[in-house]
Each structure stands twice: as structure tokens, then as C-alpha cells.
Structure 1
Amino acid sequence: MDKTAVIVIDMINTYDHDDADLLLPAAEAALPAMVDLVERARRHDVPVIYANDNFGQWRSHHGELLETVLAGPHADVVRPLSPDENSLFVVKARHSIFYETPLSYLLRQQGITHVVLCGQVTEQCVLYSALDAHIRHLKVTVPHDAVAHIHADLADAALRMMERNMGARIPLTADLRW
């Protein structure tokens, strides 16, 4: 049986960037499913890993990133998904959660063979992360109601590519079983 981890991608976010006005409505719409996914994972002792951009702040750590975001105008989108004391955290600098991060090593150390990806942006970071997980021979699930997009048409195409080309499962969050 596969050991699963839920990976929350880029949800600790100030939304002070290009396309934020397009991303925020999708993030707000996906937030309930993301919160449900993370809460269910925690109840079932499924590891929750946050993989988040550091916004070029190379002297920061995840606590500082979270403090900055929670003090900002979009804290209501971030607060419900805040890491808890058992959450793991990987800082990333580029689109993929694997690119030059210790995530592959962490997953191997934890015996993880299946990742459930949620967060943002479906047609960018989620897509590239799913591909990188696939080429590492990990099983990939992307609940389509727990990811946020900038462009709906590109997100739909990205989800189809993940399903068809990578064998990813694309269920509703409510249909996931641990």
C-alpha cells in the first residue's frame, strides 16, 4: 500500500504580484476544499508538507513568511491553511516543488510513494510539480477542487495533461480515501 503525503503548494502568499487579481478569486473558491483536504489528512496522520516560494527573501524562513502574510490584506485566504506543529516545510525558488529543494530526499526518508497536490497555480507550479513527481515514480493525485488557477482554460488543459500524460488521479477532494 502506498504511503501518502499532502503537499500544499504556494498558499502562504501575499498576493502582491502580477496576476494576483485573477488568482485570488480562484484561491478563495478552492480554499474550502484545500482546508478540508488538510484537515482530513491531519486526522488520518497523513503528513502535510508545505512547499512555498520564498519571494526572493533568502534570509527568511517559513515562520517569517507566514508572519508577513498573516499581517497582510489577504490573511483570510492563508490563515485557514496555516501549518501546524506537525507540518513539514520546504522553501522553493522556482515553479516545481522539487527543483533544487530537499523534497525528494524528504519523501524518500518518510517512505512516501504517493503525493496529493493542492494549492496554486494549477497551470504553473502544480503542473510542473506533478510532472516532477511523475518522473520520480511517485503516484500523483490532484483534487481539481483544491487547486487555484490564473487562467481557467489553461488550468483545465493542465489537469487533462496531468491525468492523460502522467496518470494522475484528478478527483474531487471529497472522493479521496486514506
Structure 2
Amino acid sequence: MPRTEVSTAVIVIDMINTYDHADADLLLPSARKVVPAIADLLNAARAARVPVVYANDNFGQWRSHHGEIVDAALAGPHAELVEPILPDGDALFVVKARHSIFYETPLAYLLWELGVHHVILCGQVTEQCVLYSALDAHIRHLDVTVVSDAVASIHPELANAALEMMRRNMGACVARGEDVVFAM
């Protein structure tokens, strides 16, 4: 039996980032647009005492832990995209190596421990990691909300198609951040 029953968690996907990868130039404009919406979402979740979980790529650094990942992102050329959405002292952190936040990570067990039945996804990249994570959440019988103005994309046309697939094929709620309400 889970230790606590919180029902909902916000999951921030791959936003602790150095933007030192092949598609970064295409991703950066979108990331700049979504950081304020993610910051607002995190502030609302924290105020309502909703757990926030960061599921972040390890960038191939197999000895990395979340402190090293955060430090590397803050030392990178785009620290301004990381600073407003940094994990606070209550945030949980799961390091991932592949697209899905669930693939070979302890996330499913963590959510079970917390009693989470509903995940609210934000982060990047909509047409990749967010899409695959929403699918994996769906097949685990979790309710899924994707915050459309808090997900960044590389290819906007694919991102729009991915959001529609999540809504239609996975039953995900696709909502703007201002429409996400956390019960206090």
C-alpha cells in the first residue's frame, strides 16, 4: 500500500539542459517560449503541495546524479532557461537515458509509492520524449494531462500532431497552463 495518497504529480521532462546537441538551434526558440509557463505551473503545484518530479536525460554521463546535471546546465550557455525552473528542496529527480520517463527508471514505482494516478507533463521535446512518456503513462493506466503551452518542440508541425495523438489515442487532456487547477 502506498505511504501517501497525493493523486497528482507534475513531471518536468528534460528541461535541465545544456542545449549542446544536434537539434538545439531548432529547440531553443520553443524552449524560450515555454519556460515562463513551466515556471508558473511549478509555482502553482508547489503552492498546492503537489509533488514535482524532474525526469531528465543524463546526457550519456553514466556517473551523473541530479546535482551534476543541474550544475552542468547552469554552467552552460543557456542557464537563463534553467534558472527559473530549477528543482527546489522538495523536488524529486529521476535520471533517464532514453526517450520515455518510464523506460528503465524507478518512476513507476515512485508514483505508486506516492499514490499518484494522474501525471501532468511539461518539458521537452513534445514530439519525442513527451509523446513517448505520455504513451507509457497511458499504458500504465495513469491519467495524463499535457500542458500545451509548457512543452517545447523541435518541429512545430510534428508537435501539433503529437498533441493530437496524445489527446485522441491516449485520452490525454491537453490543456493550457492557466487551465490547470490544483486542489489545495
Fold in common (TM above 0.5): yes
CA shift digits 1:17-53 (9 cap, x unpaired):
0110000000000111110001100000000000000
Match of 1:58 among 55, 62, 83: 62
| TM-score calculated relative to the size of structure 2 | 0.95
Q: For 2:179 and 2:60, how far apart are their aligned partners in 1?
A: 37
CA deviations 1:48-76 (Å, max 9, x no partner) are: 00000000101111001101110111000
Specify the alignment match of 1:103 in structure 2. Answer: 107
Q: 1:37 aligns with which of 32, 38, 41?
A: 41
Identity %: 69
Q: Are 2:156 and 1:158 equivalent residues in the alignment?
A: no
Contact 2:6 2:114 in 1 (8 A): no
What is aligned with 1:175? 179
In 1, Cα distance between the equivalents of 2:72 and 2:37?
24
Partner Cα separation in structure 1 for residue 176 and residue 68 of structure 2: 32
In structure 1, C-alpha distance between the alignment counterparts of 2:88 and 2:37, rounded to whole Å = 18
Query: Stretches of 4+ moved more than 6 A in 1?
Result: none
Matched residues, number: 178
1:71 is matched by which residue type in structure 2? A
Q: 2:29 aligns with which of 25, 32, 36?
A: 25
Query: What are the equivalent positions in structure 2 for 1:93-132 lying under 5 Å apart?
Result: 93-132=97-136
Note the residue ranges of structure 2 that are not aligned, 5 or more in a row.
Answer: none
Tell whether the 8 Å contact from 1:5 to 1:48 is kept in structure 2 after alignment. Answer: yes
CA RMSD of aligned residues (A): 1.0
Counterpart AA for 1:61: H
Deviations 1:117-146 (A, max 9, x none): 000000000000000000000000001000
Shift in Å, 1:177: 1.2
- What secondary structure, in the 3-state scheme, does the structure 2 residue paired with 1:29 have? helix
Q: How far apart in 1 are the matches of 2:170 and 2:127?
A: 15
2:78 to 74, 80, 93: 74
Q: Does 1:139 align with 2:130?
A: no
Unaligned runs of 5+ in 1: none
Q: Is the 8 A contact 1:2 1:114 kept in 2?
A: no
TM-score under structure 1 length normalisation: 0.98
